[in-house]
Structure 1
Amino acid sequence: MTPPRTLVLVAHPDLESSRITAHLTRAIMDMDHVTVHDLSATYPDRRIDAVREQDLLRGHDTIVWQFPWHWYSVPGVLKEWMDQVLTYGFAYGAGGDALRGKRLQLVLSTGGPEASYAPAGHNRFTMDELLRPLDATAHLCGLDMAQPLILHSAPRVDAGELQRHADRYRELLAPAAAATGR
C-alpha cells in the first residue's frame, strides 16, 4: 500500500527572505510522499492555473496550507489561490466533491506570543476563533481539518526552538501520522 500523498502549499510573499517559513519548508523537502508547492514563486503575477492546481489537489490525500499569519488571515497569494481553485462544482456545490474526505492541515506562524491570542490578550480573540473562516472553508469543501500547528512569537524563537518545531512538522507529515489524521 502506498503512503498517503501530501501537498504542501507554501504561501509567503518572499520565501527567500523568510527565516521561519523557509526553514520549515527546507525541513520537509526530502520527504518522499510530500509535494512542496511555493505559490508565490509559481504565480508571481497571481494568475493561478486553476486546472493545474485542481489536478494537484486530486492527486493528494492531505493538503497543507503553510503560511505566516497576516492581518488575522492568510497571505494574499493563498487567498487568491482559494478564490480561483476552490470553485463551485469542484470543491463544493453540485458535483463539487473532489476534496471530500481529504485532510487539511494548517501550519502557520504568528508574530505575537500565544498569550496575545486570548479574550484578555492584545488580539482579543483565540486562534480557534480567528481560524473559524478557514475551518468553515474546510467544512464547505468536505475537508477534515486537523489541529493546526502554530509557531507563536516567530520573530523571537531561537534556532533550537525553530528546529524542534520543524521536527514536529516532519512528524505531523510522516506517513503514519498522515494515514491516521493525527
Structure 2
Amino acid sequence: MARILILFAHPALEKSRVHAQLLTALRGIQGVTLHDLYEVYPDMNIDVRHEQSLLLQHDIILFQHPLYWYSAPAIIKQWMDLVLEHGWAYGHTGTALRGKYLGNVISAGAQESSYHPNGWHKHSITDFLLPFHQTATLCNMQYLPPYVVYGTHRLSYAGIREEAVAYRQMLEKLRDGQLQIQ
C-alpha cells in the first residue's frame, strides 16, 4: 500500500464549496495524510526540515488546490522554493525524492472544453501545470496525470458530492496500486 501526502492549499477555504467537500471525502482513508499548508503556515514561514521529513515518509505527493490565475496559490510556490533544495531534491547529490510520484488535484471554475487550444483559455490544463511536471522530472519523480474537477462555478451540491466520492475512490485506487499510471 502506497502512502499518499496531500499538500493542500486554499487561501479562502471558507468560501469553497468544492474543496470543502473534497476534504471531507478524505476522512478516514488509511495511508492518506492531509497537510493543509495555509493552516500550518499562516505566516508562510515554512519549516523546511519538517516538510522534507514528510516527503520522505510518503510515496505519492499530491498538490491539491484551486487553479488560481493558471497556477497554484502562492504558498505552494513558496513551499517549492524552500523545500525542494538543490542537493536534497535535485542536483548530483539531490536524490531524496527519486522514484516517488508527484501530481496535482485541482478545481477549475470553467468547463473542460474551455481548456483546449480553441477554447476560452487557449491551452490545456496540462499546459498550465507544466512547471509541476518539470519539477517532478528535475527531482527524479514520475509526474501523474492531473485530477481535475472542472466547471466548479456551476456545479450543484449533488454534483460536488459526486465529485467528492469519485475523488475518494481515485485516492484509494492510487494507494492500492489499482490505478493505471502512464
Q: 2:25 corresponds to which residue?
A: 27
| TM-score (norm: length of structure 2) | 0.93
Q: 2:121 corresponds to which residue?
A: 123
Return the offset for 1:179. Answer: 4.3
Return the offset for 1:5. Answer: 1.1
Q: For 2:159 and 2:88, how far apart are their aligned partners in 1?
A: 39
Which consecutive unaligned segments of at least 5 residues does structure 2 have?
A: none
Residues 103, 179 of structure 1: alpha-carbon distance in 2 compared, 3 angstrom cutoff:
farther
> Do residues 98 (structure 1) and 91 (structure 2) align?
no
Q: For 1:114 and 1:88, how far apart are their aligned partners in 2?
A: 36
Q: For 1:63 and 1:92, how far apart are their aligned partners in 2?
A: 16
SS in 2 for 1:7: strand
Contact 2:136 2:142 in 1 (8 A): yes
Return the offset for 1:74. Answer: 0.8
Contact 1:14 1:40 in 2 (8 A): no
Q: Percent of counterpart pairs with the same letter? A: 41
- Indicate which of 82, 86, 89 corresponds to 1:88: 86
Return the offset for 1:23. Answer: 1.1
User: Which letter does structure 2 place at the counterpart of 1:17?
Assistant: K
SS in 2 for 1:155: coil
Q: 1:62 corresponds to which residue?
A: 60
- Indicate which of 127, 140, 143 corresponds to 1:142: 140
Once the two structures are superposed, the pairs formed by residues 26-45 of structure 1 within 5 Å of their partners are 26-45=24-43
- Indicate which of 161, 164, 173 corresponds to 1:163: 161
Q: For 2:25 and 2:14, how far apart are their aligned partners in 1?
A: 15
Contact 2:31 2:175 in 1 (8 A): no
User: Which letter does structure 2 place at the counterpart of 1:55?
Assistant: S
| TM-score (norm: length of structure 1) | 0.93
Once the two structures are superposed, the pairs formed by residues 103-118 of structure 1 within 5 Å of their partners are 103-118=101-116
Q: For 1:55 and 1:148, how far apart are their aligned partners in 2?
A: 24
1:2-31 C-alpha deviation (Å, 9 max, x unpaired): x21111111100223321112111110211
User: Which letter does structure 2 place at the counterpart of 1:110?
Assistant: A
SS in 2 for 1:21: helix
Return the offset for 1:94. Answer: 2.0
More displaced 10-residue stretch of structure 1: 15-24 or 81-90 = 15-24
Q: For 2:86 and 2:161, how far apart are their aligned partners in 1?
A: 40
> Do residues 177 (structure 1) and 174 (structure 2) align?
yes
- RMSD between superposed Cα atoms in Å: 1.3
Q: For 2:96 and 2:27, how far apart are their aligned partners in 1?
A: 26
Aligned length: 179
Which consecutive unaligned segments of at least 5 residues does structure 1 have?
A: none
